[in-house]
Amino acid sequence: MNGTTHGSPHPSSRGDTRRAFLRKTAGVSVGTSLGLAGAVTAASPARAAEHGHRRRIPRGGIGMHLYTMRDVLARDFAGTLERLAEIGYATVGVSGRHGYGAPDIRRMLDATGLRAVLEHVAYPTLTGSGLPGALDDLRTLGAWWPVVPSLPAALHTPDGFREAARQFNRIGLASRKAGLGPVLFHNHGTDHVVVDGVNLYDVLVTETDPALVGFELDVYWAVKGGADPATYFRRHPRRFPALHVKDMAADGGFADVGSGTLDFAAMFAHARVGGVRQWLVEHDTPADPFATARNSYAYLSALRY
């Protein structure tokens, strides 16, 4: 595998009408603090509306993390992007190039009106000599945030996460100097474990500079690891500009967004304080990627909270 300050994402140079509309709607504020949020009881958009919830995710904030679409992208990258735009998605998170360079992907995105907001780049690349090139590619894509998708298993100790925090501060500084947003970290369930009395994920949250480092919170893996996304939003304001919106099936597996057990309405009630600007759909093992894309978009576009 190989975007924000707490303000607006890096602007795109595209000027078509649809893109201008999406940039405008991306600035709409989302969510308010409405009290404690549970994490594992499903709530339908209709039920949320019945309870007086009227806020909605701005259309420019609903995106697709392209890992979900990896099988169909490998067969038809441009056609897959076109179908995502037709469904209604405004943005994508890039995860894997499938043999294309950043300029090629940017051309395909431009042709559909989609906008890349971030790219997942391996930790060794960002901590090594590949950092400048990765940031150049991010600018070419028109994206804003470099994202570390995971940490090496050898670092899953308190000291290892403290070293990662130091590296994240360094990467984030380089990213900001390059005119981009802070580096983000994408979590998995094992990042939320307690080792020798220390919660590993909390090391990253508390030992990084908020101006340089943020988080792309995968809400499924957070809940799987025993964490509550809403609690993190409240305790660490503006640290979570992007989410992986992934649902949990009753058996603990993956589900299309809105078909599982996670209560997204309650969770997203705290999205504004958490600084969320992008809601990126993800499903790790979709049986039909396009069906997952359609189902998940329909749920998120109808959701009220």
CATH code of the domain in which 28 resides: 3.20.20.150
pLDDT for res 234: 98
Q: Side chain identity at 30, as an amino acid letter? A: V
Angle subtended by helix axes 158-177 and 131-141, to nearest 10: 60
Decide if 121 is inside a domain.
yes
- Contact by Cβ (8 Å): 117, 89: no
Domain region containing 160:
17-32+40-302
Contacts of 147 (CB under 8 A, 6+ apart): 3, 93, 118, 119, 120, 121, 183, 184, 185, 186, 216, 242
Which H or E run includes 248?
strand 247-248
**What's this model's pTM, rounded to 2 decimal places?**
0.84
- The answer to the question of residue 5 being in a domain is no
Cα maximum dimension of the chain: 54
Q: Is 8 within a domain? A: no
Q: For residue 133, is it within any domain?
A: yes
In a domain, 211, yes or no: yes
User: Shortest CA distance to 119 belongs to which of 98, 102, 100?
Assistant: 102
**What does the pLDDT read at residue 54?**
83
Q: What are phi and psi of 235, to 5 degrees?
A: -80, -25
Q: How many residues are listed for the chain in this entry?
A: 305
Q: Give burial (CB, 10 Å; 0-12/13-18/19+) of 153.
A: exposed
Q: Is there a domain that residue 11 lies in?
A: no
Mean pLDDT to the nearest integer, 267-281? 97
Of the pLDDT bands very low, low, confident and very high (cuts 50, 70, 90), residue 295 is very high
Per the listing, tokens 């925090």 go with 165
Per-residue pLDDT tens digits for 204-236: 999 999 999 999 999 999 999 999 999 999 999
CA dist 104 and 109 (Å) reads: 9
Q: Is residue 140 situated within a structural domain?
A: yes
Q: How distant is the alpha carbon of residue 195 from its chain centre?
A: 26
Q: Domains in the chain: how many in total?
A: 1
144 inside domain: yes
Specify the pLDDT at position 84.
Answer: 98
Lowest-confidence segment of 25-39, 106-120, 163-177 by average pLDDT:
25-39
